[in-house]
Every structure is written in structure tokens, then in C-alpha cells.
Amino acid sequence: MIVDGHNDLVLHRWRGEETEHMDLEAARRAGFAGGFFALYVPSPKVPDPTEVPYALPLPNPIPHERAARVAEALFACLCELPVTLATSPADFQEGRVAAIAHMEGAEPIAPDLSNLESWYERGLRSIGLTWSRRNDFAEGVPFEFPATPETGDGLTAAGRELVRASNRLGVLVDLSHLNWAGFWDVARLSEAPLVATHSNAHALCRASRNLTDAQLQAISHSGGVVGVNFAVTFLREDGYQVPETPIAEIVRHVDYLVDVMGIDHVAFGSDFDGAVVPEELGGAAGFPKLVSALRKAGYDDEAVAKITYRNWLRVLEATWR
């Protein structure tokens, strides 16, 4: 069984675009039991990096009112998919696909949090405080290579309240895309395990989106999880966007995270339909190829089970109410 930390299928459905990676029926047959389905309110597209080094400008902030309208439409698209809306770890079962409603960027949440509970009642169970661009709650990291996440200010007062309220309700707080200062603010505030749904090791790829060893250790010490991102620009040591990148690069990051964090804190966070991933893998139907690569790298049945689904389900059990 596979539980995955991130995909952008809903955005493509909302735009009327074909999926590149997330054929749900083919994925289900390949063992995909679901995961985090992003509700991402898009900015004008950040251009793909073609040269290294790169420093891509971030889009302007999006007003809450506009973001709220788009998020409603995205959620409606999610509800039309042939999936089970996941509100309990027990919703993940072999033979069907369960979707965690995950807000990638908190702009649809009112700065006074007045609509947070209504979103929770409809099924929202995960919030990424930011998608890189600044908002009322936090600042994210720009897309740069080589660079670190150490840029910008920490959480705003509204951001700190959002973390506390999410803890009370049982909403997972996602640290992916959040900057260094914001990460440590959440680490100090949160009573739940720390989670980065789709991030990699900065020591192996010096992209600003990747996590330093100190961040990885904080996540493991909290009992949390990092979902390894399959985006080739966050995998490769040279930072280039090369579709021919082998699956072995994903395994390289899994190995490193296991060494730093322990086997209980590493999972998948593919970023399918949101990034260029290794052609060798393809899409979600290719998960068995990655599992086979993990086995060839020496991971036994117990370790594979933890990476593929148990670690995610354990963190959801510890976080959700």
C-alpha cells in the first residue's frame, strides 16, 4: 500500500487540463491508496529553471478574498474525484484511493481564522502555511539554487494563531515551502509532530526548498515525517531539471534521510502533477518501480512498509482528532 505526501491533480482538473502523473485508476491498481491532494491557489507560473545557478522571482501575494473563491472551486473539484475524503487514518485501505484535503498556502483562511472551523467541518485536514509567496501568516522560500532556506521573517501573529488553532482542531501543519524562521517558529509552537509533506535533503541538493540537517533532526525528534519530493531539481546535486534523472536519485535522498532521521520519519511526497519527475518513474502507476529500487538498496519488508504508508498513518493518528 502507498500513501503519498503531495500531488497537484486537483489544480489540473480545475483548469480542465489532462493529468500527467495521476491516472487514479492506474495508480490504484499499482497500490496507491491515496494521500495529500493539494488545494493550491495559483499565481502566474514561476518559470522553470533552465540554467544553474538560478534565482526565480516569487509572485505577488494573493488577496484572501480571491484565494477563498478559488479554493471553493478547487474543493468542489476534489469532491468530484472518485476518491474517499480522508478524515481518519482508517480511511486508507487497499483497493481504493483516499484524499486528504490539503491547503497548499493558507491564503483561503481568513486572517482572523473565522472560516477555519467551517473548512475543518467540510474535511480540511492539512494546511501548508505558505506556498513560497508571502501571505498573512508566513513567508516562504524563493526558488533558488544554490541557496538555503534562511531568508525572510518568521510567522506573523496570525500565523502563530493558525498553528495553535490547527493543533486544537487536529489539522496537520505542513512545513514544506516555509522559510527558516517560520520553520523554527512552528517547531517552538506546535504540539503535534512536525511534518514536511514534500521536501528533500539540503545536504544532497542545495535548493532553497530543501531542508537542512538541523531541520530534519527537529522533525524526527518531534516524531514527525518528511515526504521525499520526486522533483528532479530538488533531487540532483547539480540542481538541473533533467527528466532523464534516474530513480536512484530518489533512493539517494531516502537513504540520507533515514541516516539522519531514522526509518520511522521518512515517507514519499511525490509532487506528482506539480513538477518534473524522473521519466523512469513516470507517474503514480510507477510506484512499484520505486519500491523495487528500495528493496534492491537493502530495505526489508518492515522498512518498506514504514516508508510507503505506515509512517504517514502514524503521524496522522498522532495529529488528527
SS (H, E, C) 24-60: HHHHHHCCEEEEEEEECCCCCCCCCCCCCCEEECCCC
Given a cut of 90, is residue 110 above it in pLDDT? yes
* Segment 301-313 mean pLDDT: 98
Contacts of 231 (CB under 8 A, 6+ apart): 271, 274, 275, 276, 277
Nearest to 241, CA basis, from 5, 19, 52, 57: 52
**Mean pLDDT, residues 241-261:** 98
Specify whether the CB–CB gap between 6 and 21 falls below 8 A. Answer: no
In contact, 59 and 123? CB cutoff 8 Å: no
Q: Are the CB atoms for 139 and 177 separated by under 8 Å?
A: no
Residue range 202-244, pLDDT digits in tens = 999 999 999 999 999 999 999 999 999 999 999 999 999 999 9
* Residues whose CB falls within 8 Å of the CB of residue 278, separated by 6 or more in sequence, listed in order: 230, 232, 235, 243, 244, 245, 246, 247, 249, 250
Q: What CATH number labels 2-319? A: 3.20.20.140
Q: How many angstroms separate the CA atoms of 173 and 179, rounded?
A: 14
Q: Please work out, in degrees rounded to the nearest 5, the angle formed at the alpha carbon of residue 178 by the alpha carbons of 74 and 121.
A: 40
In this prediction, residues 289-311 reach a mean pLDDT of 98
Mean pLDDT score, 298-306: 98
pLDDT of residue 50: 83
Q: How far apart are CA 257 and CA 198, in angstroms?
A: 13
| Mean pLDDT value of segment 301-314 | 98
Strand partners, 56: 143
**CA 99 to the chain's CA centroid:** 13
Structural contact between residues 115 and 109, judged by C-beta atoms closer than 8 angstroms: yes
Beta strands per DSSP E along the chain: 2-7, 32-39, 54-56, 84-85, 98-104, 124-128, 143-145, 172-174, 195-196, 225-228, 266-268
Residue 57 has pLDDT above 90, yes or no: no
Main-chain dihedrals φ then ψ at residue 312, nearest 5 degrees: -60, -45
Confidence of residue 247 (pLDDT cuts 50, 70, 90): very high
Report the pLDDT value the prediction gives residue 34, as an integer from 0 to 100: 98
Mean pLDDT of 115-136: 98
- Residue 122 falls in which region: left (phi positive, over 0), alpha (psi -120 to 50) or beta: alpha
Q: How far is residue 182 from each of residues 13, 92, 151, 178, 316, measured CA to CA in Å?
A: 31, 31, 10, 6, 22
**DSSP readout, 302-320?**
HHHHIIIIIHHHHHHHHH-
**CA distances (Å), 110 to each of 43, 137, 296, in order?**
18, 10, 48
pLDDT one-digit tens code per residue, 41-55: 999 877 788 899 999
Mean pLDDT, rounded, for 161-175? 98
Asked whether the bond before 53 is cis by omega within 30 degrees of 0, the reply is yes
Mean pLDDT of the chain: 97
Dihedral of alpha carbons 155, 160, 164, 169, sign? negative
pLDDT for 62-107, tens place per residue?
A: 999 999 999 999 999 999 999 999 999 999 999 999 999 999 999 9
Q: Which SS3 state, helix, strand or coil, does residue 183 take? A: helix
Residue 47 pLDDT = 79
